[in-house]
Amino acid sequence: MKQRKEKTIFSAIQPTGNITIGNYFGAIKNWVQLQPDFNCIFSLADLHAITVRKDPEEFKQKALEAYALLLACEINVEKSLLFIQSQVNTHCQLAWMLSCCTEFGELARMTQFKDKSSSHSDNVNCGLFSYPVLMLSDILLYRADFVPVGQDQKQHLELTRTVAERFNFLYGPTFTVPEPYIKRGAKIKSLRDPTKKMSKSDPDLNSRIELLDSPDKIMKKIKRAVTDPENHVKYGENKDGINNLMTIYSCTTGKTLDEIEKEFDGIGYGEFKTTVAEALIEHLAPIQKNYSKIIKDKGYIKNCYKDSAEEALNISNETLNEVKKK
Which residues form the catalytic set?
116, 197, 200
Q: How far is the CB of 32 from ligand TRP (least distance, A)?
A: 16
By CB under 6 A, what part of segment 22-61 binds ligand TRP? 45, 48
Q: How far is the CB of 58 from ligand TRP (least distance, A)?
A: 19
Picked from ligand AMP, ligand TRP, none, the partner binding residue 139 (CB below 5 to 8 A depending on kind) is ligand TRP
Long-range (24+ apart) CB contacts under 8 A made by 193-196 are 193/226, 194/225, 194/226, 194/240, 194/241, 194/243, 194/244, 195/240
- How many Cβ atoms from other residues are within 10 Å of residue 238's Cβ? 9
Q: How far is the CB of 16 from ligand AMP (least distance, A)?
A: 7
Among 1, 9, 10, 13, binds ligand AMP (CB under 6 A): 13
Instruction: Decide if 112 contacts 157 (C-beta within 8 A).
Output: no
For ligand TRP, the closer of residues 69 and 149 by Cβ is 149
Picked from ligand AMP, ligand TRP, none, the partner binding residue 147 (CB below 5 to 8 A depending on kind) is ligand TRP
DSSP H helical ranges for the chain: 21-23, 29-34, 46-49, 56-72, 90-99, 104-108, 111-119, 126-141, 154-171, 215-223, 240-253, 257-263, 269-294, 298-325
Residue 135 interacting with ligand TRP (CB under 6 A): yes
Query: How far is the C-alpha of 163 from the C-alpha of 165, rounded, in Å?
Result: 5
Among 91, 143, 197, 239, binds ligand AMP (CB under 6 A): 197
Query: How far is the C-alpha of 194 from the C-alpha of 240, rounded, in Å?
Result: 5
Q: What DSSP state is assigned to residue 197?
A: B
Task: Name the CA radius of gyration of the chain, rounded.
Answer: 21
For ligand TRP, the closer of residues 149 and 304 by Cβ is 149
Query: How far is the C-alpha of 226 from the C-alpha of 242, rounded, in Å?
Result: 8
Q: How far is the CB of 271 from ligand AMP (least distance, A)?
A: 25
- Three-class DSSP category at 200: coil
Residue 87 makes CB contacts below 8 A (sequence gap 6+) with 305, 306, 309
Among 84, 147, 219, 280, binds ligand TRP (CB under 6 A): 147
Q: How far is the CB of 18 from ligand TRP (least distance, A)?
A: 15
Q: How far is the CB of 303 from ligand TRP (least distance, A)?
A: 24
Picked from ligand TRP, ligand AMP, none, the partner binding residue 197 (CB below 5 to 8 A depending on kind) is ligand AMP
Binding-site residue total for ligand AMP (CB under 6 A)?
A: 16
Query: How far is the C-alpha of 112 from the C-alpha of 159, rounded, in Å?
Result: 13
Residue 284 makes CB contacts below 8 A (sequence gap 6+) with 21, 211, 213, 218
Residue 255 interacting with ligand AMP (CB under 6 A): no
Beta-bridge partner residues of 59: none
Which residue type, as a one-letter code, is found at position 230?
Answer: E
Among 1, 110, 128, 139, binds ligand TRP (CB under 6 A): 139
By CB under 6 A, what part of segment 97-156 binds ligand AMP? 149-150, 152-153
For ligand AMP, the closer of residues 135 and 149 by Cβ is 149
Binding site for ligand TRP (CB under 6 A): 10-14, 45, 48, 135, 138-139, 147, 149, 153
Q: Kindly list the residues in this chain that would bind ligand AMP in the complex (CB under 6 A).
A: 13-14, 22-23, 26-27, 149-150, 152-153, 186-188, 197-198, 200
